[in-house]
Amino acid sequence: MAQLNQMKKLVKKNMKRVFILLVLITGAGSVSAQQTLTFRNAVTLGLENNLLLNQQKNLLISTGVNRTSALLQMSPSVSVGGSAGRFDGNSFNQQRGEVVNGQVDFVNGGLSANLPIFNGFNQVNAYKQAASQNEAQLNFVVRTTQDVIRNVSFQYLTCLLDQQLLKIDQQNLETQKTQLDQIKQQVELGSRAEADLYNQEFQVRTAELQAVRSGNRLKNDKALLAQTLMIDPIISFDLEEVNWGTESYLVDAVVLENLNTQALENRADLKQASNTERAAQLGFLSRRGRYYPSLSAFAEMNSRYNYIHGAPDNRTFDQQFRSDNRQFNYGLSLQIPIFNGLANRALVVQQRVLFENAQLTTKNTEVRVKSDVLIAYQNYQDARVSFSAAESQLKSGELSYKMEKERFDLGISNIVQLTTAQQSYVKAQSDFASAQFTLMFQKLLIGYATGTLRTEDIP
């Protein structure tokens, strides 16, 4: 019995070891399976999954089909028709040249073609309008692509900033805990007042709270990034640090006028507005072409087969359809509009209003482009100065903290002075990280404002 109990204990012990091993293996597998999201991969996912961008690409296909259709409208139109049925009663029979009373089966068939010769350049302008609309949609897709790159870049850099601030807060927490242990020992030895211990405990709790808030802010921003990229926010992923180097996100000295010229040449939304204005103008010219006479050529070939029930001398289908009843008509058709209830005038006025509104949109877009360039240029200059100031502040804060820490360890300064120096140093670290990522994003905004932002610009 004792041996049996001993074996049971041994089995339980081994089972516990196996369970712990499985837990460790499972945990290691989950950690290794956690994905690392790079900056460029994030932008690529955003471009692949963005709802608005995919919808605009579908509309681009539609406008391309409309352009092809408008082009083919200038070519001849050909149609084939036919009918079959029965007359029961009096009917005139072309085959006999007389009225036949009774049942007559018939089959009709025909081929017709129509070629527009002149219609006030209506269809020519309609094709040019469709081509301009397709070009406008293409530029809209380009600008929407740049919008996605900008939005994903902002959210990714925001998450990186949150990640950096979390590291700073965690390092500050570890420093505060280490300092708390030192003060405890000094209080026990009687070299420090007990009030310093309470003060330091408060600093530790404050640092813990700040670290928790930074962690929550990072999780929230990563969830927003996952939503933008259309990936499951429950799946955990890491962000790869961006190691651009200071020289890579510092733009050489640029002239504002050069940026304006570059933007006017490359901004896709301005091109879209210009193409939309051109399409509205061509639509106006196309509608106005309906005031003029239209001339077209036509050609028709028809034939017919009749079968009279009860008649002994019905000719065969081949004789009637191919020879006896075959007809061929061709000629010119001229239509001159005189009055149709002012329908054409209403269409012309509507299209003219669209054209005038499109002109206003183009002018407004041009002003907005110059304004965007000016704002991006000024924000970049501000971010560059802020980065330099934050860099100097970080060096000064680090030096001040080290000196104050030495003074505190020697008993020359008090806990209040040390806490102030620590807070200034932590703030300098946070300001430097914020200025660094702001400068990175402002460099991207320069490309966005000038319309030259591409996926290749992402490291």
> Which of residues 252 and 64 earns the better pLDDT score?
64
pLDDT tens-digit map of 355-401: 999 999 999 999 999 999 999 999 998 988 898 898 899 899 889 88
Cβ-based neighbour number of residue 122 at 10 Å? 21
- Is 376 in the same domain as 263? yes
With tokens 């961006």, the residue in question is: 242
Cα(274)–Cα(164) distance, integer angstroms = 44
- Which residues are CB-contacts of 344 (< 8 A; sequence separation ≥ 6)? 287, 290, 291, 337
Q: How distant, in Å, are the alpha carbons of 119, 229, 293, 344, 347 from that of 340?
A: 17, 54, 14, 8, 12
Domain count, the chain: 2
Q: Are 122 and 286 in contact (CB under 8 A)?
A: yes
When pLDDT is cut at 50, 70 and 90, the band that residue 20 belongs to is very low
- The whole-number pLDDT of residue 212 equals 95
Q: What is the pLDDT of residue 353?
A: 95
Note down the domain range covering 382. 37-75+119-155+222-292+342-457
Contacts of 360 (CB under 8 A, 6+ apart): none
What is the rounded distance in angstroms from the CA atom of residue 11 to the CA atom of residue 4?
11
Contact between 433 and 161 under an 8 Å Cβ cutoff? The reply is: yes
277 and 401 assigned to the same domain: yes
Choosing from 310, 336, 362, the residue where a domain stops is: 336
Does residue 17 fall inside a structural domain?
Answer: no
CATH number at 388 reads 1.20.1600.10
Average pLDDT of span 44-51: 92
| pLDDT reported for residue 281 | 94
Per the prediction, the chain carries an average pLDDT of: 85
Whether 144 has a pLDDT exceeding 70, the answer reads: yes
Model confidence over 193-208: pLDDT tens digits?
A: 888 888 889 989 999 9
- The last residue of a domain, from among 336, 371, 392: 336
Has residue 1 got a pLDDT over 70?
Answer: no
Summarize the confidence of residues 79-106 as an average pLDDT: 83
Q: Are residues 57 and 90 in the same domain?
A: no
Residue appearing with tokens 């051109």: 278
Residue 422 neighbours by CB under 8 Å, 6+ apart: 172, 175, 176, 203, 401
Is residue 215 included in any domain, yes or no? no
- Contacts of 412 by beta carbon, 8 Å cutoff, 6+ apart: none
In this structure, are 101 and 239 located in the same domain?
A: no
Which range has highest mean pLDDT (233-247, 252-266, 269-283, 302-316)?
269-283
The predicted model gives 275-296 an average pLDDT of 91
d(CA 407, CA 404): 5
Regarding whether 310 and 233 lie in a shared domain, the answer is: no
Assigned domain for 399 exists: yes
For residue 107, the domain's CATH number is 2.20.200
Q: Residue 6: its pLDDT value, please?
A: 46
Residue 30 pLDDT > 50: no
Q: Is residue 403 part of a domain?
A: yes
Q: How far apart are CA 457 and CA 248, in angstroms?
A: 11
Q: Are residues 236 and 350 in the same domain?
A: yes
What span, in angstroms and rounded, lies between the C-alpha atoms of 240 and 231? 17
- Does residue 412 or residue 345 have the better pLDDT? 345
Q: Check residue 246 and give its pLDDT.
A: 57
- Residue 62, pLDDT score: 95
Amino acid, single-letter form, for residue 88: D
- Give the confidence band of 145 by pLDDT, cuts at 50, 70, 90: very high
Q: Is 50 exposed, middle or buried (0-12, 13-18, 19+ CB in 10 A)?
A: buried
In this structure, the number of other CB atoms found within 10 A of the CB of residue 299 comes to 15
pLDDT band with cut points at 50, 70 and 90 for residue 187: confident
Gyration radius of the chain over CA positions: 41
Single out the residue in 336, 365, 398 at which a domain terminates. Answer: 336
- 302, pLDDT greater than 90: yes
Residue 13: pLDDT band (50, 70, 90) is very low
